[in-house]
Amino acid sequence: MSQSPAVDAGTRIGHVHLKVADLDRALGFYCGVLGFELMQRMGSGAAFISAGGYHHHIGLNTWESKGGSPPPPGTTGLYHTAILYPTRAALADALHRVVTAGIALDGASDHGVSEALYLRDPDENGVELYRDRPKEQWPFGSDGKLSMFTKRLDVEALLREREA
């Protein structure tokens, strides 16, 4: 298989839409716990939320899923939505919000290039909360290739970095 030219380096994933069973419950998590701002609500069918006043980073809807249950293990679909925080202190604040809300983490990892927290939203969708390290700090092997890894993230040390 021949390789196509690389996509433009400025390309980003702009937003995600999640099917949820209960819109109010989902808003309670994404806005009430994580702190996203409600930009627009369309009755009980959909809501659009963001960080910093953007039109929306996350769309939540019940159009095909009202009252539904999560897909069973062993099926295809979204593995997780990854939410990128700009600083370690901002990630620490997100962790504090999650812990204060009594939400359990599925995991917490140092990947060399990033630090990540893994959890589930009320609809059992995977959520990754992470921050990237500066590229100069990424691990590279002696061959010059990126050498990511997965190590346990010190969650207590991260919490201490939270700005009051």
Q: Write down the pLDDT at residue 11.
A: 87
Residue matched to tokens 């060399």 = 112
DSSP classification of residue 57:
S
Largest CA distance in the chain: 56
d(CA 124, CA 111): 23
Q: Which residues lie closer than 8 Å to 161 by C-beta, 6 or more apart?
A: 88, 89, 92
DSSP-derived 3-state class of residue 99: helix
Whether the predicted pLDDT of 113 surpasses 80: yes
**Band of pLDDT at residue 162, cut at 50, 70 and 90:** confident
pTM of the model: 0.92
Q: Write down the pLDDT at residue 13.
A: 85
Q: Write down the pLDDT at residue 1.
A: 66
Residue matched to tokens 């969650």 = 155
Residue 137: phi, psi to the nearest 5? -100, 0
Task: Retrieve residue 109's tokens.
Answer: 């990892």
Rg (CA), the chain: 18
